[in-house]
Chain A
């Protein structure tokens, strides 16, 4: 099976702009979770989607949003970008039927905000 894929791999934006990142899960996986990885804060949970519904949410401001499509592909959007949003954004997919399902990570999107 193909692994989790993310596009684009790299993005450079300026403050105030918005950005959309995409994640395609492993075939058959219905859950997609998003994480922000920074050197200072480590891996922080953003949100989880399952069957097109947000099932879980982390402690991020409303500028961070997401959605999931009927084919389980997911997008996350960050509006009004700030310098502190520069990070590696990782998505992970799992079967989604249990909270002990293994999560498989994508390669990430490196976002730089200037």
Chain B
């Protein structure tokens, strides 16, 4: 049974700092891995999708990597801004065609001005 864990649970950094969020999963036979952002009381906004054949994806100041063999993914945020403050969730796609997502508990990021 796939389990996804995110460390740390919370992170507070000063504006401008580069940071890394970690995600680990127990079953390396994942199909894809997706990172989301969730603002308080809001829905999930997709940030990046890494397909199983890929090792990383980049979008603006965000870079996500995937290492299936070690069961890890990281989300790198460059030059953090107060507007980046949110909860970041990673989710592993199951290997079946249904594509259900198994979520981690999230990392709540606070970027201080």
B and A form one assembly: no
